[in-house]
Chain A
Amino acid sequence: MKRILLMGNPNVGKSAIFTRLTNVRVIVSNYPGTTVEFTRGAMRLNGQKVEVIDAPGTYSLEPMVPAEKVAVQLLQESDPEETVIINIIDSTNLERNLNLTLQILSKGLPTIVVLNFWDEIAHRGISIKANKLSDLLDARVVPTVAITGMGIKELKESLINAGPSSFRLQEDSKWITIGKILNETQTAKHHHHTLLQGLQEVSTHPVAGFPIAIIVLFVSFFIIRFIGEGLISWIFNPLFEKLWAPVLMKISVLLNHSGFWHDIFIGKLVNGEIDFFQSFGILSTGLYIPIAAVLPYIFSFYLILSFLEDSGYLPRLAILLDRLMHQIGIHGMGIIPMMLGLGCNVPGALATRIMETRKERFISATIMAIAVPCMAQIAMVFGLLGKFGFKGLAPVFGTLFVVWLILGKIMSIFVRGESPEIFTEIPPYRFPYFTSLFKKVWMRIYWFLKEALPFVLIGVFIVNLLYSLGIIDFLSRIFGPIISRILGLPSAAIAALLIGFLRKDVAIGMLAPLGLSIGQLVTASVVLTMYFPCVATFVVLIKELGFLDMLKAAIIMILSAFFVGWVLNLIY
């Protein structure tokens, strides 16, 4: 045996079983030609290394969505001599899960059936005769509780001599067969609602659901910021300031404090020292932004998001907001990229892949990049316009919200494609399995470091090159007068717009010494937020949307930013 394939419905605890079986090193890969991810790991069985694959959840072998197609393809590619299928079943939903089980058994591959959530059936007044089920299916049946590890040892032992089942399914009498199996193996008694079940009712209630959602979102946002800022100011900033800055200063001395290569690698020195926000060298700002400014937020964000995901709250939020989100052409799940974008646009852009169709991905990525300011930007806008109070802040955030709504509505009408209706199972609330949760967070961070970091470095390199060759100065001389006329900003503010491509909070900070009026500040802040995403988001968006769609999104961004800027200029 060389391969173990985990298959089952969504939300049956597949990843928890996967985590129990495999060692630390796991790889997330896209199935060739799709954006569907699946996880691969390895385990030792009788001293032999065996590959373990966690296939995407599927309800049947007749796939309806891309993720299900991938799961079915993984099964079809399996060599019967070399593969064992572990079919994981949610014991509390035996009937629905057996539909897939019978289809898998009929394929004739060696299969082990795992009855997960074995501890929950007692609470729900259900009892299942596992031995009887094993006889009827002609396959080994192992009850497990993935979170506590119950049954995992038996599962590993039974992997060694797993064989194919002789069970064959008649498609037209499928549900009759399932009914018979249930009659012989399962008895269900009436049970009373538990507190968690009561909470489930309330959190999707058409009225009471909304205040609960606001509280959950507010608390999540607060924790994300708390952890993110904590990591930045207690770990990453000291590391960069105390350890990395002296190394860079030594290199700077070696390069004689100036020159072409100094500008590329170290950047410009501010008051004779390295300023990680303003130096713009590959080794200074290029490393600092992704590692010290973005990574802590990515970690804290994914930690909380994975918690909300694994506990079962996210689908409920999507249901509550589904109607509103359909107004802008995406379904309820579209709230997730928007939420993430408020922390940092990079994870927001990554999250657009949860959307089903190209249209939904395009709309959510574009309006997220245009109208959702990241945390760093929000802080700078507060610093700049906070002294004017409500009069200064409301026009900025109010305009962005109106732009979000109007642009979303326009795109929902004109972007070709579909935004399908919501159709999702709502899993019961469960306490997350933390090992599996941290593994997931680690995989996402690893992905960020591997995929985004090199592109940020390349981006900084290119911008530095453009500066050194005088191209940026040239551009601001050419476009300065036009932009000044449309937006009513002085020429000096143009430099901020250019820097905004690298780091928006720094760019907004550059407006402070210019002595702009409140109207100019509002216009500049809104235009800076809208006109283009920062380099890190830009790179991730190219990867997620493809070059052509990103080009379209960029045109929409620039046109709408200048249009809104022009309107604001007229108003003030």
Chain B
Amino acid sequence: MNLIEAKQNIDLKVVKIKGEWRAHENLRHSGFGSHWRARRDIRHKGIGRGWREHKDIRDKGIGRGWRLQKKLENLGIREGVVIRKVSQQAFRGPVIIEIGNTRVAIGCFMAAAIKVEEIEK
């Protein structure tokens, strides 16, 4: 499941961080808005532009989603760490998560790209 679908206030393990460019699909599966609206939002938010426009990055074999992975990693969110979803604002608003002593607000599209699983107690 992705971070949007995850329950609040339980420990979650980050399994994979996908590229946000697939987020319209991620979101649609979560029952959030129509396909074309999500695609339009992706265009307006400039998601995936870095990869499309920078040939040097593509040539290095860096996959889509590298930018988001780097951004999240800088705040300590990477595959394998334990996070906690604190709240989700209404109508596809930002998701607030807690990692260690840090709280981070993440836009809905980015949150949809973060795959998590619940940790069995």
Measured CA separation A200–B75 after assembly (Å): 19
Find chain A residues with CB under 8 A from B87 CB.
201, 204-206
Measured CA separation A315–B106 after assembly (Å): 12
Q: Contacts A93-B101, A124-B101, A322-B89 given; indicate if A423 touches B67 (C-beta within 8 A).
A: no
Binary interface encoding of chain B residues 44-73 relative to chain A, with 1 for a CB under 8 A from any of its CBs, else 0 = 111101000000000000000001001101
Judge if A62 is at the interface, Cβ distance under 8 Å.
Answer: yes
Measured CA separation A417–B43 after assembly (Å): 9
Judge if B14 is at the interface, Cβ distance under 8 Å.
Answer: no
Closest Cβ–Cβ distance, residue A458 to chain B (whole Å)? 38
Measured CA separation A319–B104 after assembly (Å): 10
Closest to B96 in A: A204
Question: Is the pair A323, B45 in contact by a Cβ cutoff of 8 Å?
Answer: no
Q: Contacts A64-B74, A322-B94, A419-B44 given; indicate if A93 touches B107 (C-beta within 8 A).
A: no
Most A-side CB within 10 Å, residue of B71, B73, B74, B91: B74
Judge if B119 is at the interface, Cβ distance under 8 Å.
Answer: no
Find chain A residues with CB under 8 A from B86 CB.
201, 204
Closest Cβ–Cβ distance, residue A170 to chain B (whole Å)? 16
Binary interface encoding of chain B residues 87-108 relative to chain A, with 1 for a CB under 8 A from any of its CBs, else 0 = 1111111101001111111111
Most B-side CB within 10 Å, residue of A357, A412, A420: A420
Number of interface residues of A (CB under 8 A): 36
Question: Is the pair B45, A319 in contact by a Cβ cutoff of 8 Å?
Answer: no
Measured CA separation A402–B119 after assembly (Å): 48
Q: Contacts A59-B74, A323-B91 given; indicate if A423 touches B103 (C-beta within 8 A).
A: no
Closest to B43 in A: A418
Measured CA separation A191–B56 after assembly (Å): 48
Judge if A426 is at the interface, Cβ distance under 8 Å.
Answer: yes
Quick one: which of B75, B90, B108 contacts A421, CB cutoff 8 A? B108
Closest to B88 in A: A206
Judge if A475 is at the interface, Cβ distance under 8 Å.
Answer: no
Quick one: which of B76, B78, B105 contacts A423, CB cutoff 8 A? B105
Measured CA separation A520–B63 after assembly (Å): 61
Question: Is the pair A420, B46 in contact by a Cβ cutoff of 8 Å?
Answer: yes
Question: Is the pair B75, A425 in contact by a Cβ cutoff of 8 Å?
Answer: yes
Question: Is the pair B100, A93 in contact by a Cβ cutoff of 8 Å?
Answer: yes
The number of residue pairs between A and B whose CB atoms lie closer than 8 Å in the complex comes to 103
Quick one: which of A59, A62, A206 contacts B93, CB cutoff 8 A? A206
Closest to A126 in B: B101
Question: Is the pair A418, B46 in contact by a Cβ cutoff of 8 Å?
Answer: yes
Find chain B residues with CB under 8 A from A525 CB.
none
Measured CA separation A213–B96 after assembly (Å): 17
Measured CA separation A200–B106 after assembly (Å): 17
Judge if B109 is at the interface, Cβ distance under 8 Å.
Answer: yes
Find chain B residues with CB under 8 A from A418 CB.
44-46, 49
Question: Is the pair B92, A95 in contact by a Cβ cutoff of 8 Å?
Answer: no
Measured CA separation A320–B46 after assembly (Å): 22
Residues 9-37 of B at the A interface (beta carbon under 8 Å) = none
Judge if B4 is at the interface, Cβ distance under 8 Å.
Answer: no
Known: A319-B105, A421-B47. 17 other contacts (CB 8 A): A64-B67, A64-B71, A92-B101, A95-B76, A95-B100, A99-B74, A200-B103, A204-B86, A319-B96, A322-B107, A323-B93, A418-B44, A419-B44, A421-B106, A421-B107, A423-B107, A428-B101
List of 9 A-B pairs having minimum Cβ-Cβ separation, nearest first = A421-B107, A418-B46, A59-B74, A323-B93, A426-B103, A96-B76, A319-B105, A60-B74, A92-B101
In the complex, 20 of the A-B residue pairs with CB atoms within 8 angstroms, ordered by the A residue number, are A60-B70, A64-B74, A93-B100, A93-B101, A95-B76, A175-B78, A204-B96, A206-B87, A206-B88, A319-B94, A322-B94, A417-B46, A418-B44, A422-B105, A422-B106, A423-B71, A423-B105, A425-B102, A426-B104, A426-B105
